[in-house]
Each structure stands twice: as C-alpha cells, then as structure tokens.
Amino acid sequence: MKKKIIEIIGIIISIIIIFQNIAYATSSKSSLQNQQSDIDNQIKELENEQKEIKANKSETMKSVEDLIYQISDVENEIDDLKSQVKDLQAQIKVTEKSIEQKEEEYNKQKELLDARVIALYKNGENSYLEIFLSSSSLKDFLSKYYYAEALMNADKEFMQKVTDEKKEIEATKAELEKNKSALDDALSQQRIKQNSLERLKNEKQTYVAQLTAEEKENQQEIEKFEEDKWYSDYEPKKYNCISVSDDLIEGIVKEHLEELGKLKTYFQMKKHPGLGLDYCGITIIPPRSLKEFKKIIARANKQFKSSELENLINKINIAIRDNKHLIHYGI
C-alpha cells in the first residue's frame, strides 16, 4: 500500500513537472512571439517614416532640378542683356566720336567766319572801297560784293548744318543712353532674381542633405531591429516568395556546392552569419552576396534551362536594384 502511494505521488510529481515544462515552453514561445511582434511593429513604423522621408527627398530634389533650370534660363538672359549693353556702349562711343568730329568742324568753320567778320569790322568802308577799286567795272564790283556776302552766308549755313547734325547725334546718344539705362535696370533685376533662386536652391539642397541624414539614421535603426528579428516562421506570402522545386535545388547544390559554400549568408537571424544555404532551415542572403548568388543561378540555368530559375534570377535582380535581402525557406 505504501509502495502504491509512493508510485502515485511520483506520477503526480512527474505530471506536474511535465505541465510546468509545457507551461514554461508555451510562455517562452509567447514571449518570443510578442518580442518579434514588437520588432515587426518598430520596423514597420520606421519603414513608413522612411517612405515619407524618401518622398520628401524626391520632391525636394525635383524642386532643386527645376531651380537649376530656372537659374540657367536667368543666366542666359543675363548674358543676353550683357551683350546688348556692350553693343550699346560701342554705339555710344561711336556717337561721342561723331559729336567730337562735328564740334571740330563747327569750331573750324566758326574760326573762319570770325576771321572774316573781324576783317570786315576792322576795315569797315575801306574793305568795300578796296573791292570797288580793285573792280574793273560796276558789274565786277557787284559780283565781288555778292560773292563776299554769299561766302559769309555759306559759312553761316554750314555752321547751322553742323549744329543741327550735332543736335541729331546728341539726341541719338541720349536715346542710346536711355536704352542702356533700361538694360542696366533689367540686368540688375535679373541678378536679383538669380541670387534669390540660388539662395532658394541652397536652402533646398541643405534640406535634402538633412533628409539624407535622417534616411541613413532610420535605415541604421531598421537594420538594428532586423538584427534581433527571428525568421523562424514559414511566411513565403509575407515576403512575396517564389517556389523552386526540390529537384532543381538538389541539382544546383550538387553542381555548385563549392561556390555555394563560399556564399556569405545568415541563418534564422542576422546575428547568425553562415555560409551557403540552409537546406532545411531559413537562410537570409544579404545584398553584398546577391551578385555572386545570381552568377551561380545563371550558370545553373544554362544547364537546367528552367522557368523557375528565370523567375529566381528576376527576383535577385529586383533585390539588387532595391538593395534588399533575399530570404530562402528550405524544406
């Protein structure tokens, strides 16, 4: 009787121990699942932030490109205005020389006229007497008299003509200077616009640099969380996986075992580095190993000519393009 009681107690204790182990295992699994769920949520939140940062960065970079085009247009306008100003300056110099020339002509003619006037003033009646005495006849006298008068009138007319021409040239110069002043104002406005666009471009480029820093920091946070993430559950739909038949995998392993054995990967989580593919477990292939993995699969496909391997190569290309990891679920 005593022996049976002891056996029953032993059974009860064993049952209690078993239940305790089950409870502990269940509790540990539940705790791990909660932990992984928290990690997934953190990663998802950071990835959403990352998408927003990338969208802002892309939009800002587009604005910078637009500003660069605008600045280029303004610079072209400034160059065109500078060329016009240069042409006007050349025209103004030409008109200034023309004015100087007309002034010289005017002054020379004035000197001649002044000399004649002074001579007539000094000689007075004697000048007319000299003309009379030197004339052979009354007709000759009148002819000489009218010639002298005509000569003085011609001098006056020439001086008036030079004066009028000078005024016209001065008016042309004034118009050129007015046009140049307008161009100088336009040039000044374009330079103000250029400086404003440059300042705005620099502000946006600074913002892009800030977003790039945030993007990098976020990515580091994501990678930090991903290092603690267990890829222990079979979730091919979650990661948009494709299937490759076991026969093909066995063939690839057989033909390319040495190459696959050098492929740097992770097993179950990123804290567990390894080499090759885990035949029965979960393997994570990092971006740095994707090109080599693609070479192996491409060489294998030359032998097997499989649409499944073609799909796998396309999947690898997408991962390379997006700098993503590949996940491999074994048997």
What is the per-residue pLDDT across 282-329, written as a single tens digit (0 to 9) for each? 888 999 999 999 999 999 999 888 898 999 999 999 999 988 889 888
Predicted confidence band of residue 151 (pLDDT cuts 50, 70, 90): low
For the chain, the average pLDDT equals 78
- Band (pLDDT 50/70/90 cuts) for residue 331 is low
264 and 212 co-located in one domain: no
Whether residues 218 and 257 fall in one domain: no
Residue 70 lies in a domain: yes
In a domain, 304, yes or no: yes
Judgement on whether residues 293 and 206 belong to the same structural domain of the protein? no
Whether 180 and 256 share a structural domain: no
* CATH code: domain of residue 160: 1.10.287
Asked if 258 and 220 sit in the same domain, the reply is no
Q: Most distant CA pair in the chain: distance in Å?
A: 189
SS3 of 136, please?
coil
Mark whether 96 and 187 lie in a shared domain.
Answer: yes
- Please indicate, yes or no, whether residues 172 and 251 belong to a single structural domain of this protein: no
Q: Give the Cβ contact number of residue 38 at 10 Å.
A: 12
Q: Say if CB 229 and CB 325 are below 8 A apart.
A: no
> Of 227, 261, 280, which residue constitutes the final position of a domain?
227
Range scoring the smallest mean pLDDT among 124-138, 166-180, 315-329:
124-138
Residue 27 counted as domain residue: no
Residue 139 or 114, more confident? 114
pLDDT tens readout for residues 75-111: 899 899 888 888 888 888 888 888 788 778 778 877 7
State residue 280's pLDDT score: 78
How crowded is the C-beta side of 230, counted as CA atoms within 13 Å? 13
Last residue of a domain, one of 168, 197, 227: 227
pTM over 0.75: no
Residue 232 covered by a domain:
no
**pLDDT (0 to 100) of residue 291:** 93
The mean per-residue pLDDT over the stretch 211-240 comes to 80
Residue 220 belongs to some domain of the structure? yes
324 domain-assigned: yes
Q: Taken in order 148, 149, 150, 151, is the CA torsion positive or negative?
A: positive
Number of domains forming the structure of the chain:
2
Q: Is the same domain home to 211 and 258? A: no
Same domain? 176 vs 282 = no
Last residue of a domain, one of 194, 227, 260: 227
258 or 227, which is more confident: 258
Cα angle, residue 43 at apex, residues 38 and 49 outer, rounded to 5°: 130
Contact between 290 and 319 under an 8 Å Cβ cutoff? The reply is yes
- Looking at the fold, whether 162 and 293 belong to one and the same domain comes out as no
Among candidate residues 56, 167, 65, 149, the one with its CA nearest the CA of residue 106: 167
Total H helices, total E strands in the chain: 7, 4
- Do residue 183 and residue 255 come from a single domain? no
- Domain boundaries, position 260: 246-329
Residue 41 lies inside a defined structural domain of this protein: no
Q: Is residue 151 part of a domain?
A: yes
The pLDDT value recorded for residue 135 is 53
Mean local confidence (pLDDT), 232-253: 80
d(CA 255, CA 248): 10
Residues 93 and 189 in one domain: yes
Residue 103 has what pLDDT?
78
